Amino acid sequence: MKVFEIKDLRFTYQKNRIKAVDGISFSIHEGEIFGLLGPSGAGKSTTQKILTRLLKAYEGEILYYGKDLKSYTNTFYEDIGVGFELPVHFSKLTAMENMIFFQQLYKQKSDIVSLLKQVGLYEDKDRLVGEFSKGMKMRLNFVRAMLNNPKILFLDEVTNGLDPKNARIIKDMIRTFKENGGTVLLSTHLMNDVEELCDRVAFISDGKIKEISTPRALKLKHGKRILDVEYYDNTHTKHKTFELTNIGDNQAFLDLLKNYNIETIHSGETSLDEIFIKVTGDKIHE
């Protein structure tokens, strides 16, 4: 089942005439975590804002569960949760007051206390958000996205700037959300997140999709079909490279395995970082 079907989407910011999205087409399937990857300025946030109906003056077609997105009323917002790139909170209210405020906008309500506990903010629930560290704000931002128990989560760089422990908490919650049947559109420039979370990804650059596939297929496509073996020959560590095709019939490889102390074996699939740079050009303006 397709949650979103996006056909030849285009968007130009009128004030500076920047073509932020320049003819992209893709679908998001129910129950998947779809990653929108690309350097800063690629058009990821703009795409998210269009799909969450914050930007309306787009060209092309967006179907949400088979029907034009424009034909939905504001009940659409009951279905979705949005984690904005920059946390939006009232700094003079406490964490709890913020969550209660945002939650009353929805009919469907999830358990705020349980969410705050999951992100490790329960103890801080009565502190002013203005006193929160960036990591705390980002975690609260995630709770905010979950307040209406959404079916679809839009997450824009939600782990950006989080330390590994806090990033882990958020990533685990995203995975749990998916395991419970949720669908996620995640944009990021952090390949670690992608590796751990995404079922499919689209690499975008200059408002266009350069590649769209599974992380695994991309790694195979851009990698080399080779095997690199490090072995110890009684005095030194050495390495040899073999073609992966018909490796089982390669006598030199079999002899090496039999006669030497093998230290490591690696196949030549490339990392997503390398694919990112190759596919989107070397424009990383972070």
Ligand X SMILES: Nc1ncnc2c1ncn2[C@@H]1O[C@H](COP(=O)(O)OP(=O)(O)O)[C@@H](O)[C@H]1O
Q: Is the dihedral of CA 269, 272, 276, 279 positive or negative?
A: positive
Strand duo 33-37 + 200-205: pairing: parallel
46 binds, among ligand X, Mg ion, none (CB under 5 to 8 A by kind): ligand X
Dihedral, 80, 86, 89, 92 alpha carbons, nearest 10: 180
Cβ(44)–Cβ(85) below 8 Å = no
Residues between 156 and 195 with contacts to ligand X, criterion CB under 6 A: none
**Tell me, what amino acid is at 58?**
Y
Residue of 6, 24, 33, 42 that binds ligand X (CB under 6 A): 42
- Should residue 17 be labelled a site residue for ligand X when binding is judged by CB under 6 A? no
Phi then psi dihedrals of residue 70, to 5 deg = -70, -20
Q: Which stretch binds ligand X (CB under 6 A): 14-22, 99-107, 178-186, 209-217?
A: 14-22
* Smallest gap from residue 48 Cβ to ligand X (A): 8
Structure tokens that stand for 63 in this block = 């179907």
Contact positions with Mg ion (CB under 5 A) in 40-59: 44-45
Decide: is 55 part of the binding site for ligand X (CB under 6 A).
no
Task: Yes or no: say if 238 and 229 are a contact pair by the CB < 8 Å rule.
Answer: no
The full length of the chain comes to 286
Q: Under a CB-based contact definition with an 8 Å cutoff, are residues 102 and 138 in contact? A: no
Of these, 45, 98, 166, 188, which contacts ligand X (CB under 6 A)? 45
Q: Which of 9, 34, 35, 38 binds ligand X (CB under 6 A)?
A: 38
In the complex, the smallest distance separating the C-beta of residue 38 from ligand X, rounded to whole angstroms, is 6
**Spatial distance between the Cα atoms of 155 and 48, rounded to a whole number of angstroms:** 8
Which of the choices Mg ion, ligand X, none does residue 43 contact, using the CB cut-off of 5 to 8 A by kind?
ligand X
Residue 16 or 251 having the CB closest to ligand X: 16
**Interface residues toward Mg ion, by CB under 5 A:** 44-45
**Interface residues toward ligand X, by CB under 6 A:** 13, 15-16, 18, 20, 38, 40-46
